[in-house]
Amino acid sequence: METTRSAAVNARMFVLVALGSIVVAGLFGGLLALLRGRTNTSIALGYYILGSIVVLAGSFPGGGVAGLRTRTTQRRPTGATGYALPSLLLGAVLIGVGMLVDVYKPF
């Protein structure tokens, strides 16, 4: 029996990636806080920036973004990959954590 590999993300992998991303975004925000001297707003800004980048990356089609159009004929749309929805959700989680940091100011 053949096994096929899917590009879809299962729930366990999404949770692990989300937790890792929250930690990385927090470290990025901490670096911004050291540079700016403002703790809460800088950490929230780190979450906003990285969350926005993840949302933008998730919205690109599977074929990537081409800067120059080299083809003169119309090609078939590439469509989204199995990672499009999870990356949009991850970006929303990061932006949501940034909002929580911004509103509750834990630091």
Please state the domain extents for the chain: 26-61+84-107
Give just the sign of the alpha carbon dihedral 96, 102, 103, 104. Answer: positive
Per-residue pLDDT, 77: 59
- Retrieve residue 49's tokens: 């920036």
Q: Are 96 and 27 in contact (CB under 8 A)?
A: no
Give just the sign of the alpha carbon dihedral 52, 53, 55, 60. Answer: positive
- Retrieve residue 47's tokens: 């979450």
Q: What is the mean pLDDT of the chain?
A: 79
Cα–Cα distances in Å, from 27 out to 5, 14, 39, 41, 93? 33, 20, 12, 14, 16
Closest CA to 87 of 57, 63, 61, 65: 57
* pLDDT tens string 38-70: 888 888 999 999 999 988 887 776 544 445 555
